[in-house]
């Protein structure tokens, strides 16, 4: 994971080459206390990109989700504290409201809401054609 807000635009441009997350906002495969909502869909004029999804993930206090990151995402915390354990690198990251970061596809991670409060973050997904 990268925590450099000045590279946000560069990361967004690079993210179009990665596959989109298999769950486009559906809660079907999500654990209890975790939800993903689609806020908006934008048509794309970028070659190879069908649309851009703007989504919000919400993780209730004590809930966690372990997954293999399917795509590069650009994220910004909006509420609470998120603990990310990256099982691939062995590193742990803590993100607060206002922090920005990106993800690395193929890494196995566990996301947990920390501190007894609900965590929320917004993220963009480039959906390939």
Calpha distance 13→10 (Å, rounded) = 5
Contact in structure between 15 and 73 (CB atoms under 8 Å): yes
Q: Which domain holds residue 59?
A: 5-128
Counting the structural domains of the chain, the total is 1
User: What tokens does 64 get?
Assistant: 């966690």
Q: Give me the pLDDT at residue 48, please.
A: 75
pLDDT over 90, % of the chain:
53
Query: Which CATH number covers residue 41?
Result: 2.60.120.10
Residue-wise pLDDT for 31-88, tens only, equals 999 999 999 998 989 887 788 889 999 999 999 999 998 776 789 999 999 999 999 9
User: What tokens does 78 get?
Assistant: 């909006």
**Dihedral pair phi/psi, residue 103, rounded to 5°:** -110, 165
Calpha distance 124→41 (Å, rounded) = 10
């Amino acid at each position: 994971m990268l925590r450099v807000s000045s590279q946000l635009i560069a990361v967004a441009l690079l993210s179009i080459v990665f596959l989109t997350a298999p769950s486009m906002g559906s809660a079907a495969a999500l654990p209890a206390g975790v939800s993903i909502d689609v806020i908006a869909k934008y048509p794309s004029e970028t070659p190879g990109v069908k649309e851009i999804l703007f989504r919000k993930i919400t993780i209730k206090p004590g809930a966690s989700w372990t997954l293999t990151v399917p795509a590069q995402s650009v994220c910004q915390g909006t509420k609470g504290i998120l603990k990310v354990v990256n099982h691939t690198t062995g590193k742990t990251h803590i993100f607060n409201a206002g922090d920005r970061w990106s993800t690395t596809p193929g890494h196995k991670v566990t996301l947990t809401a920390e501190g007894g409060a609900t965590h929320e973050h917004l993220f963009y997904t480039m959906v390939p054609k």
